[in-house]
Amino acid sequence: MSNATRLRRRLVEHLLAEGVLHDARWMTAFRSVPRHVFLPRFFVPAPNGWAAIDNGDDEWLRRVYSPGVLVIQLDDDSGLWERARYLGAQPGTPTSSSSQPSIMAIMLEELRVADGHRVLEIGTGTGYNTALLCHRLGSGLVYTVDIDPELVGAARERLAEIGYAPSCAAADGAEGFPAGVLYDRVICTCSVSSIPPAWLEQTVPGGLIVTTLNRPIGGGLVRIVAGEGATGHGRVLARDGRFMPLRAHRFKQSKVPDDDVAWRPARLPMEVLTEVRSRFEFFAGLHLPGVTASREGQSTRLAHPDGSWMRHRQAGSAFEVAEGGPRRLWEIVEAAYEEWLGLGEPGRDRFGLSLDGEDQVIWLDSPDGRTWPLRP
């Protein structure tokens, strides 16, 4: 047994232990598809930015089959890997990656594919997820699109290397696949601020779309049942997943002043708002559309493009906040928290979506209940 085969089996054991993999056919796909073919090089975090790892390096293969995210591109610039390789670690923002295998397993199972289903994948990336789909369904039923031509070209070559030939296109994934085909399933391996109407139009009525919501606070995994035309309805899923956003759906980080500010006591820790495992996080995000969060030194910061901002810090065993701009963001958080408690502390799986073209809302418990616009 080769070292790669052994590591693939170990990865599947890890996914089983995490409770994210249950379907025997997807187990076989993860055991069979060689992830290392799709990750000949990547970045890893380093003290001064991102270091470049190549397939001849020690620990390369072990890292490939680790359970974490592997970044393959920074700042939409494929040339930065070479720079990091020869000049040392480089700063940058990840813009493409091979996602955590656990999130991939969750999404693939939530897609509920059956033999004969035609699947569209938005976000080809390395091609590894594409290969898992090809193994399960056959290349002829898999279509994949990515906005980056270099990524598509590299993925196509690596897929061919192991015997897969899905339909690949370099195009804007928000427009679906440029072929006039209807799909039984659509899976998006990047997050979106709203559901592109083209995806709904290209999915057969009753077909499923699985993607993640691009919300700076309170994102998460959703499954949508397509209706006629650009309509659909769905649920926010209890099993969570987070991805980099579709390029056109990225948020810009708003600025927070560094000047001396007036602090006041706060009763809530910041973790109730920013921790993915917090039951309040999703509800909080509905009240803070477009608000981004960042960490600076000992304080966490929230900011909105309208100029509203706040800073939160721990002071001994207590908490403090400072606020500014046209709105008091922490007052909005505190009011939302009281409302959330009054509603019975709803988790993400009590929320659903109703979609009609550009008219898209999130609702609590039923479409006739409390609603919020999906767009930030």
pLDDT at 92: 87
Convert the pLDDT of each residue in 142-195 to its tens digit.
Answer: 999 999 899 999 999 999 999 999 999 999 999 999 878 899 999 998 888 899
Residue 106 sits in a domain of what CATH number?
3.40.50.150
Q: Which two tokens stand for residue 353?
A: 């979506």
Q: Which two tokens stand for residue 198?
A: 């083209």
Which residues contact residue 344 at a Cβ distance below 8 angstroms, ignoring those fewer than 6 apart? none
- Asked if 237 and 260 sit in the same domain, the reply is no
- Asked if 236 and 324 sit in the same domain, the reply is no
- Asked if 204 and 110 sit in the same domain, the reply is yes
Report CA 338 to chain centroid distance, whole Å.
29
Kindly state whether residue 351 falls inside one of the protein's structural domains.
no
- Asked if 200 and 308 sit in the same domain, the reply is no
Least confident of 32-46, 73-87, 185-199, 347-361: 73-87
At position 287, the amino acid (one-letter code) is H
- State yes or no: pLDDT of 261 exceeds 80: no
pLDDT at 249: 45
Contact call for residues 110 and 23 (beta carbons, < 8 A)? no
Report CA 227 to chain centroid distance, whole Å.
24
- DSSP, collapsed to helix, strand or coil, labels residue 348 as helix
- Asked if 157 and 235 sit in the same domain, the reply is yes
- State yes or no: pLDDT of 136 exceeds 90: yes
- Asked if 189 and 300 sit in the same domain, the reply is no
* Residue 93: other Cβ atoms inside 10 A: 13
Residue that the structure tokens 């890997």 belong to:
81
- Asked if 133 and 212 sit in the same domain, the reply is yes
- Asked if 200 and 259 sit in the same domain, the reply is no
pLDDT at 17: 95
Task: Give the count of domains, the chain.
Answer: 2
Listed residue (114, 135, 123) closest to 184, CA to CA: 114
* Overall average pLDDT of the 125-151 stretch: 95
- Asked if 205 and 285 sit in the same domain, the reply is no
In angstroms, the CA 343 to CA 351 distance is 12
Q: Which two tokens stand for residue 111?
A: 């897609």
Kindly state whether residue 279 falls inside one of the protein's structural domains.
yes
In angstroms, the CA 110 to CA 28 distance is 17
* Overall average pLDDT of the 259-280 stretch: 83
β-strands 119-122, 94-98: how paired? unpaired
Which residues contact residue 87 at a Cβ distance below 8 angstroms, ignoring those fewer than 6 apart? none
Boundaries of domain holding 258 = 251-342
Q: How is residue 245 annotated by DSSP?
A: B
Domain boundary among 241, 269, 295: 241
- DSSP, collapsed to helix, strand or coil, labels residue 6 as helix
Residue 71 buriedness (CB in 10 A; 0-12 / 13-18 / 19+): buried
pLDDT at 98: 83
Strand partners, 319: 266, 314
- Asked if 196 and 316 sit in the same domain, the reply is no
- Asked if 236 and 273 sit in the same domain, the reply is no
Kindly state whether residue 159 falls inside one of the protein's structural domains.
yes
Convert the pLDDT of each residue in 17-71 to its tens digit.
Answer: 999 999 999 999 999 999 999 999 999 999 889 999 999 898 999 999 998 889 8
Give CA separation, 34 vs 11, 18, 19, in Å.
Answer: 12, 21, 22
In angstroms, the CA 89 to CA 91 distance is 7
What's this model's pTM, rounded to 2 decimal places? Answer: 0.89
- Tell me which residues are annotated as active site: 99
Convert the pLDDT of each residue in 319-335 to its tens digit.
Answer: 998 888 899 999 999 99
Q: How is residue 252 annotated by DSSP?
A: P
Indicate the helix (H) or strand (E) that contains 161. Answer: helix 149-161
In angstroms, the CA 348 to CA 149 distance is 36
Residue 172 buriedness (CB in 10 A; 0-12 / 13-18 / 19+): middle
Contact call for residues 107 and 159 (beta carbons, < 8 A)? no
* Residue 344: other Cβ atoms inside 10 A: 9
Domain boundary among 217, 241, 265: 241
Convert the pLDDT of each residue in 201-251 to its tens digit.
Answer: 999 999 999 999 887 787 789 999 999 999 999 999 987 766 555 444 444
Listed ranges 89-103, 116-130, 265-279; the one with the highest mean pLDDT: 116-130
At position 243, the amino acid (one-letter code) is F
- Asked if 181 and 107 sit in the same domain, the reply is yes
Residue that the structure tokens 């550009």 belong to:
358
Q: CA 185, 30, 155: angle at the middle one, nearest 5?
A: 70
Kindly state whether residue 161 falls inside one of the protein's structural domains.
yes
Kindly state whether residue 373 falls inside one of the protein's structural domains.
no
* Residue 145: other Cβ atoms inside 10 A: 24
Kindly state whether residue 349 falls inside one of the protein's structural domains.
no
Convert the pLDDT of each residue in 278-315 to its tens digit.
Answer: 899 999 999 998 888 877 766 788 888 888 988 888 88
Please provide the DSSP assignment of 22-63 as one string: --HHHHHHHHHS-HHHH-SEEEEEETTEEEEEETTSTTHHHH
